[in-house]
Amino acid sequence: MSDPATGRQYPFAEAPDELLATEPACWTLQPDAPWHGFGAMSDGFCMLDPIKVTITMPGMDVTGTFADRGIPAQIVTMFLDEQRIEVEKTGDYVLLVLFSIGMTKGKWGTLLDGLLGFKRAYDENTPLSVALPKLVDAHPERYGGLGLADLCDEMHDALRTGRMPALLDSAFGQLPEAKLTPPTHIGGSSADAASASTHRDGRTNGDRDGRPLPTRNSDPDAR
């Protein structure tokens, strides 16, 4: 990133705190920048939230190209949950965690310890009965004989074969075409739909028992 006032370039980790705190350009996604994968967005359209941190798992790059092996993020989330570490959102190969204002070094240190613990368990292909005991307790026949790396390989292959990320991008990136409006679908007009929403259960203009409601100038006891 660069300081607009001086033009000096900084690696993000070495940028001055004052610059990060006062310059919005530090958090703005630039159109077609190769690292974020969002393509030709409008200039100034999107900014990063500095208290939200995205952790990328190996397995797929920003262009959607799969690697030979990968670690689906859902498995990492399950592992961290076993350590009582909460993940805000989970994608196919990304995790979103919140570093709220006032978070202590102890709390984010717990997250780092959890991630390093996952790496050790993955490298050693730790049995799921140890790494993910809740999963094995729920489905012992399916997962009892697998290790953590085995599960990652299976799930990564399933995501790659089924093209799940591409299908999800397509589903969320295309607005559906409206073929019918709700009133047309139920076989009536807009006026009918408004009437039906006002007078449910077959009641007409009346109270809960279906009796006519009095008007402003009427006597409710009149016969």
pLDDT in tens, the chain (223 residues): 788 888 888 888 898 989 988 888 888 887 877 777 676 777 777 888 777 888 999 998 877 888 999 999 999 999 999 999 989 999 899 999 887 766 777 788 898 999 999 999 999 999 999 999 999 999 999 999 999 999 999 999 999 888 887 787 777 777 778 777 777 666 655 555 455 444 444 444 444 444 444 444 444 444 4
Q: Distance (Å, rounded) from C-alpha 87 to C-alpha 96? A: 6
Four-way CATH pick for 51-167: 1.10.10.10, 3.30.70.250, 3.40.190.10, 3.90.1150.10: 3.90.1150.10
Q: Please report which helix (H) or strand (E) contains residue 88, including its range.
A: none
Hey, what are 75's tokens?
A: 């498995």
For the chain, the structural domain boundaries read: 1-48, 51-167
Query: Rounded to an integer, what distance in angstroms lies between the CA atom of residue 11 and that of residue 40?
Result: 23
CB 122 within 8 A of CB 80: no
Opening angle at CA 109, ends 111 and 101, nearest 5: 85
H/E segment holding residue 155: helix 148-162
